[in-house]
Amino acid sequence: MSAMRSAFASQRLFASVLFLLLVSVPLVARADAIQVRMVTKVGVGQKPKLEITALQNLERVEVMLNRDDGKNVSQSLGAINLGEMREIFLDGKPGKHHYSGRVTCVVDGAPQDSQVYFDTLVGGELTVIVDKTKVDLAAGRMPIQINSPDGKVELRIFGASGGDPLLEQEQEFADRDPVIPFWLTWKPLPKSTEVGRVDLKVSDAGGAYKSFALFPWSVYIPHEEVNFATDSASIASTETPKLQASLGKIADALAKHKNLGPIKLYIAGHTDTVGAAPYNLGLSRKRAQSIAGWFRKNGLRIPIAYEGFGEFALAVATPDNTDEPRNRRVDYILSVEDPTLKATEFQPVWKLIK
């Protein structure tokens, strides 16, 4: 009996999934004294607990536990008759915690102690954040901020023309630090692949899940630049053939990707570095708005958004007050989600043309 106490005192109890763990080796010295069941992983709003069932008449049972953050649990269960069960609820604070302590069982007037060690995990509401700026589809890498240490991510990648998934996979994670992003990885697709949609389903160990879709597809419509008079955002009649040609290319691209989703046209205006930055920003916005308005008036029915970037997203890096024609441009971008332009100091606010 003494050897049994020594062996069990050194045993560490850890829960590995969300379930009730039936401990086959008793937590006290008497092998036939009690049976312990533990709920150590629970969801939001629930509490971990210990269930102690008497396998014989017990004069008294006491539990003393210390948590890794200094919180103490001290509870006396009093006498427990054969077959009766008592519950000890632990703190429902979200996060992972380590408990250590002892269970004292009094049998025939003799107290018997056993040391116990176990971890608990209380889940909060599942949150999932994807930093789109760090997604690398070509390399097969995506960082996901998940506040659960255990769970899985289901991934499906579709081409820009719809149809069956190009790739499907499931990736599990366990005992990870929720503060550190989880890197979802997959075998890179062929370089010529045009990805239209990425479906994600993130589940935690308790079954809670979040599903969402990313639309990395976008296409820049090649076009001849509209020339504006100095300090003007008015479109001259001599420039409209350029816009008519662009409108045809937009229609062709929409027909090719009609099954992708709700596509928008984004008009992004840019300037060179000649003049004051605030003035350039306003002028580029007005010119983008003029072009967006022209497309709307000439039959384009999809949502059209515009924004000016001024000199904050240069195609060619130049010093201030440099006349560079390649920086005086307007981008026509078809995309389902707001496109990401390499603007280092400016966050666009896209405006819709009615």
Question: Do 229 and 317 sit in the same domain of this protein?
Answer: yes
Question: Do 264 and 306 sit in the same domain of this protein?
Answer: yes
Question: Do 266 and 187 sit in the same domain of this protein?
Answer: no
Question: Do 24 and 134 sit in the same domain of this protein?
Answer: no
- Give me the pLDDT at residue 125, please: 78
Last residue of a domain, one of 214, 231, 253: 214
Is the model's pLDDT at 237 over the cut of 90?
Answer: yes
Question: Do 73 and 150 sit in the same domain of this protein?
Answer: no
Question: Do 13 and 86 sit in the same domain of this protein?
Answer: yes
Last residue of a domain, one of 214, 233, 255: 214
- Domain holding 55: CATH number? 2.60.40.1940
Question: Do 233 and 146 sit in the same domain of this protein?
Answer: no
- Give me the pLDDT at residue 150, please: 85
- Domain holding 192: CATH number? 2.60.40.10
Tens of pLDDT, residue by residue over 109-125, are: 888 887 888 888 776 67
Tens of pLDDT, residue by residue over 291-320, are: 999 999 999 999 999 999 999 999 999 999
Owning domain of residue 287: 220-352
Is the model's pLDDT at 31 over the cut of 80?
Answer: no
Mean of the per-residue pLDDT values of the chain: 85
More confident of the two residues 42 and 209: 209
In eight-state DSSP terms, residue 179 is T
Tens of pLDDT, residue by residue over 277-296, are: 999 999 999 999 999 999 99
Largest CA distance in the chain: 105
- Return the ∠ at Cα 221 (arms to 218 and 224), rounded to 5°: 160
- Give me the pLDDT at residue 44, please: 65
Question: What total number of domains does the chain contain?
Answer: 3
Question: How many Cα atoms are found within 13 Å in the side-chain-facing hemisphere of 244?
Answer: 5
b vs e for 150-188, b when ≥16 Cβ sit within 10 Å of the residue's Cβ? bbebebbbbbbeeeeeebeeeeebeeeebeebbebebee
Question: Do 152 and 248 sit in the same domain of this protein?
Answer: no
What average pLDDT does range 330-340 have in this prediction?
93
Q: What is the pTM of this model?
A: 0.60
- Give me the pLDDT at residue 251, please: 96
Last residue of a domain, one of 164, 191, 214: 214
